Chain A
């Protein structure tokens, strides 16, 4: 009987407060759906089996963690807003004679009803969205569509359990607030004015310093290798700076405006400035959060889209600007020793002669109806070097990631013979001459960087002629310069390498040069289509591995058979699977996370509009009584709202502009060299985000004007 009454009351409360509950339920359902989708994506075995799909689960697990954390924050945030708005009502029940436990009972029923609705809606939506996701992923990875619904009670239960727990937590928190509630205070405090915000000087200074430092780091990072640690430092500094400046900087700025009498006592400025002062006090945290979330969305989408779209360019970059379709080969391993001092046979994979590799390759591709057209050998040694007084020193990258010595350059060294074949050149070098080429004009002329006499592997060389562009070079320098060097013979490389790498004590000494045979094929499309997938890799990869193993067994030193991994078999079609899989999953994760971020943004804006709406209604009426026309009043209010609304967007765009160079360098680490593509992706993302943001604003502004009117 009583329960029935309470149930009815709870239900009618939810309906009466639909302005608060609809977004609460929508946000909850949205989060539930995305959580469910990610959970299922992380565990769906069918996805693992499609080519390129093996990257999805591990990437989705990262996403799941982020979504879980954000969900907790957002659930508590919506709950606290809901509670704040409804405290008066609960207090009124108390005044009208309900005991607190009765109010608690109604509260429980309300949150139970809304939670059940949002969970059911969320799971159903999640199942639907999951289906769409599968279609989307298959499209993205360019594989055949997986059909049928995939659902497991386990994932539903996990999702429901997680969210039910979050809402239970929120309810318990509300109970504590209810217990502390004193209705008399509540009714009395309704009309009290708010204190004028104070300028927080210390916070302002902290904000300026952190933001300034963050921007400085982002703008001055030169090396892509340094970009990783720098980027994260900068991100943290900028986040702190954004919050601090929104909180303290806005107030300080507006107060400065107010002190300027000539500016302040003007029709348009007076009301706007003092109202904004209060708006910033109430909303600074929310607005700063929006700015951060917006920046996050823009960064995620623009980079992941760019990577995904740039897949083909990256593949071309791997295979001699599209001249080759695959490469086979391996690494020379020099004097490799384990920490125990056990010697590992020298140059084991280098032992496979060219004719053997070529015939093995022909066997494999022949199976799929393709033919080898050309087989170009390229032996090379690459590392970062630092020259002091013309003598080369090795830069140990692992230990000096954050502080590369000044003047460090990246080099790729080729023997003359391989260079001439690769670049179709007829270069002639003297015995002690080195040919060189800079990656691009801005890495500089090597003769200006180095003295003309340099010592390399105990031998003196002179810098010789500038040579043609070497296509196996990466597209960007990670250090202060990037050069291709051509030495007279392979023996020169051998002695350079042995000289540079003096074995260190008790550690792995792992010195490598690589040799590769770039292969161009006739019938690439056929082989790409017919080459199947096994254990996440193309069939041809395993077949080639088997052939190499078989060959190695025929050799005298059987232990070399364990080192097949040192033998590379990389094809453009397999790389495409891999890149599409990885970048596609990242892109997809970017979209899902952006959705969550957008939910958060929309919620903050919506709740901001509602709470401001109630405040502004009073102000609106007073202004009209004092003698402003309705039009003028609306004008000033709209202007303020637009300023408050655009502030985070503008901040996000500025953050993005500053972060642009660092992010570009990070993309280089991921072998994404296409500059214009990233610019285009960023621009499109910003525009798209601004549009979505505007839609969110429009929708929420309607509610606002309804309240104010």
Chain B
């Protein structure tokens, strides 16, 4: 069963003083099955970020709809939106977005606390996740005291702690060195193997090559998609980079 269904999504931005209209998404349709690990690729300006914002319910589409487990996002009231997001979605960002004023522990616990969880159940949820992500020893430290990779794992822990239906990751490896990137991608594989659905926006071929399916977006449309099938990471990597070459040289696969 599809956990996320996106159909005929369209987004037109109107510039501030009326006049110009910019079409960010023209017609995007795809779906994500439960337990899938989907990467969305595309160049700057292809509409990736707009798509992610709409999926995250941070922005509303001009036309088309987004269904999360059969519930339409645009049908949710503004007031309930934050709660809905907190309970159903987990976010991982390129810039980590950790709060300087919180320790690693508090950063991870924040969404739970916002959900109104009881102080007693906090620790029992935190420890297994921290252990799994290898940040158990860092819990008392502050973001400025740990490395980029550790920060990103903290962000992943924060995304996971509410047991979200879907994790949305926006260029999660963008600010990491290659070793931390490998670590993080391994973490994503592991949590995906445990059944967590992940949707990742990236333009790193390496990051995308870990996914089970890769969608390509160009000029506001889904241009192509590749299933992993039985490919190894290396084979998938090759396929992706071939597709990208085709994309940039202007292939006419429409």
Contact = CB atoms under 8 A, between A and B. Distances in A.
Contacts of B100: 193-194, 278, 619
Contacts of A194: 100, 144
A270 B79 CA distance: 22
Contacts of B113: 265-267, 270
Interface stretch (B13-21, B36-44, B104-112): B104-112
Contact of B144 (A195, A275, A623, A628): A195
A62 interface: no
B165 interface: no
Contacts of A277: 101
A196 interface: yes
A535 to B, nearest CB: 67
Given A193-B144, A194-B144, A265 B101 contact: no
Interface in B87-139: 89, 91, 93, 97-102, 106, 109-111, 113-114, 116-117, 119, 122
B23 to A, nearest CB: 25
Interface in A250-306: 261-262, 264-267, 270-271, 274-275, 277-278
Contact of A193 (B97, B117, B142): B142
Contacts of B101: 274-275, 277-278, 619
Contacts of B47: none
A632 interface: yes
A267 B91 contact: no
A236 interface: no
A622 B97 contact: yes
Q: Is the interface of A mostly helix, strand, loop or mixed?
A: helix
B97 A625 contact: yes
B83 to A, nearest CB: 8
Contacts of B97: 621-622, 625-626
Contacts of B111: 626-627
A625 B91 contact: yes
B119 to A, nearest CB: 4
A250 to B, nearest CB: 15
A648 to B, nearest CB: 22
A196 B142 contact: yes
A632 B86 CA distance: 13
A627 B119 CA distance: 19
Contacts of B102: 274
Contacts, number: 68
Interface string A605-626: 0000000000000010111011
Given A193-B100, A625-B91, A629-B81, A270 B119 contact: no
Nearest to B159: A626
Interface of B: 58, 79, 81-82, 85-86, 89, 91, 93, 97-102, 106, 109-111, 113-114, 116-117, 119, 122, 142-144, 158
A622 B110 CA distance: 11
Nearest to A633: B82
Contacts of A627: 82, 85-86, 89, 91, 111, 114
B108 to A, nearest CB: 11
Contacts of A261: 119
Contacts of B85: 627
11 contacts: A192-B144, A261-B119, A265-B119, A265-B122, A266-B113, A267-B116, A278-B100, A625-B58, A625-B93, A625-B97, A627-B89
Contact of A628 (B79, B106, B114): B114
Contacts of B158: 626
A73 to B, nearest CB: 30
Nearest to B107: A626
A261 B121 CA distance: 12
Interface of A: 192-196, 261-262, 264-267, 270-271, 274-275, 277-278, 619, 621-623, 625-629, 632
A563 to B, nearest CB: 75
Contacts of B89: 627
A626 to B, nearest CB: 6
Nearest to A618: B100
A629 B110 contact: no
B119 A262 contact: yes
Given A193-B142, A193-B144, A619-B99, A274 B106 contact: yes
Please give me the 6 A-B residue pairs with the lowest Cβ-Cβ distance, nearest first. A193-B144, A627-B86, A629-B82, A193-B100, A265-B119, A274-B101
Contacts of B93: 625
Contacts of A264: 119
A416 B142 CA distance: 84
B153 to A, nearest CB: 16
A513 to B, nearest CB: 72
Contacts of B79: 629
A628 B116 CA distance: 12
Nearest to B144: A193
A622 B119 CA distance: 23
A262 B93 CA distance: 30
A275 B100 CA distance: 9
Given A265-B113, A626-B110, A628-B82, 5 more contacts: A194-B144, A270-B110, A621-B97, A626-B111, A626-B158
A270 B106 contact: yes
